[in-house]
DNA sequence: GAATGATCATCA
DNA sequence: TGATGATCATTC
């Protein structure tokens, strides 16, 4: 089944409302999509299905999911109490010095400028198909959140630029962290080595910590309704 | 291969 | 139990 891109923010939010309350199994049935037999084979399945249902366009290209609207779509697994089960992948970490600029122009900042969060409610360890689609939240970082992200990004990217990627672990950063992001631990990309010269290294990704996304998802209740 | 979509498996 | 590092599927 093919869904056309939403023409407006209102249309996107209406579509998100329309699928809220469905289980992922029910959404899969509507879209005539198969359900992976094993949970460990289903990484990314829910996210891609919700993309299809809402009419996202980017596929695996480095573009916003809703290009015309400048909105990024993120599904996020949450417990029934609303707390995220996992951290959230954002984008690849630029490992070559030439790619690094300043926060205002950073790709990750662009990517997080406007995000439609779609919670998928379920228990830890449950099959993704059993999760239920929650109420979506269209979010932009407030000044405090932007400041936190910026501070983390500057600290982390300084290390990258200095060729200290190998000393960076997921323990750095209060909201944003850097973790491996690859098919396996043998994958290699070009980056700034310890000597300052280009060197092959493990690709990394930026992830939002669960504590950060928990707070941002909770904001809707604090403000009395979100969207 | 490298980007997207993420969750799994393990250990502190 | 939660966080870290490793891994899985799909697309371009």
In a domain, A4, yes or no: no
Structure tokens at A74: 């993120």
pLDDT at A33 over 70: yes
Percent of chain A with pLDDT over 90: 64
Q: Between A147 and A107, whose confidence is greater? A: A147
Q: Between A110 and A119, whose confidence is greater? A: A119
Please answer whether residues A209 and A87 qualify as being in contact, where contact means their C-beta atoms are separated by less than 8 angstroms.
yes
- The Cα angle at residue A157 between residues A155 and A160, in degrees rounded to 5: 120
What is the pLDDT of chain A when averaged over all its residues? 89
The model's pLDDT over A198-211, given as tens digits with 9 standing for 90+, comes to: 889 999 999 999 99
In a domain, A215, yes or no: yes
Helices (H), chain A: 9-19, 24-30, 45-54, 107-111, 143-161, 210-222
Counting the structural domains of chain A, the total is 1
The model's confidence at residue A225, banded by pLDDT at 50, 70 and 90, is very low
Judged by average pLDDT, the poorest of A20-34, A115-129, A213-227 is A213-227
In a domain, A3, yes or no: no
pLDDT at A52 over 50: yes
Percent of chain A with pLDDT over 70: 94
Judged by average pLDDT, the poorest of A10-14, A94-98, A115-119 is A94-98
CATH number at A174 reads 3.40.600.10
Owning domain of residue A52:
9-222
The model's confidence at residue A100, banded by pLDDT at 50, 70 and 90, is low
Residue A93: the pLDDT is: 92
Q: What is the spatial distance, in angstroms and rounded to an integer, between the CA atom of A170 and the C1' atom of B12?
A: 14
Judged by average pLDDT, the poorest of A29-38, A51-60, A181-190, A205-214 is A51-60
Helices (H), A55-207: 107-111, 143-161
The model's pLDDT over A151-176, given as tens digits with 9 standing for 90+, comes to: 999 999 999 988 899 889 999 999 99
Q: What is the spatial distance, in angstroms and rounded to an integer, between the CA atom of A17 and the C1' atom of C10?
A: 27
In a domain, A77, yes or no: yes
In a domain, A2, yes or no: no
In a domain, A227, yes or no: no
Q: What is the spatial distance, in angstroms and rounded to an integer, between the CA atom of A155 and the C1' atom of C3?
A: 20
- Positions in chain C where some atom is under 7 Å from a protein CB: 2-12
Q: Which of residues 123-152 of A touch strand B (CB under 7 A)?
A: 125, 128
In a domain, A1, yes or no: no
Q: pTM here? A: 0.93
In a domain, A29, yes or no: yes
Alpha-carbon gap, residue A168 to A22, rounded angstroms: 40
């Amino acid at each position: 089944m093919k869904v056309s891109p939403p023409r407006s923010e209102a249309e996107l939010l209406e579509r998100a409302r329309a699928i809220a309350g469905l289980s992922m199994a029910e959404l899969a049935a509507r879209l005539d999509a198969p359900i992976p037999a094993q949970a460990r084979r289903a990484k990314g399945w829910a996210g891609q299905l919700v993309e299809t249902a809402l009419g996202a366009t980017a596929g695996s290209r480095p573009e916003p999911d809703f290009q015309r609207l400048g909105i990024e779509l993120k599904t996020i697994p949450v417990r029934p109490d609303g707390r995220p089960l996992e951290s959230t992948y954002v984008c690849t970490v630029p490992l070559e010095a030439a790619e690094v600029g300043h926060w205002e122009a950073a790709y990750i900042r662009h990517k997080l400028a406007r995000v439609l969060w779609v919670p998928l409610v379920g228990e830890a360890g449950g099959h993704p198909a059993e999760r239920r689609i929650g109420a979506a939240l269209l979010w932009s970082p407030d000044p405090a959140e932007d400041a936190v992200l910026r501070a983390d990004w500057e600290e982390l990217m300084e290390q990258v630029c200095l060729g200290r990627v190998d000393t960076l672990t997921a323990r750095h950063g209060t909201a944003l962290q850097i973790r491996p992001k690859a098919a396996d631990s043998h994958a290699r990309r070009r980056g700034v080595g310890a000597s300052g010269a280009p060197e092959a290294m493990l690709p990394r990704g930026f992830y939002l910590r669960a504590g950060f996304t928990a707070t941002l998802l909770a904001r809707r209740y604090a403000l009395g309704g979100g969207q």
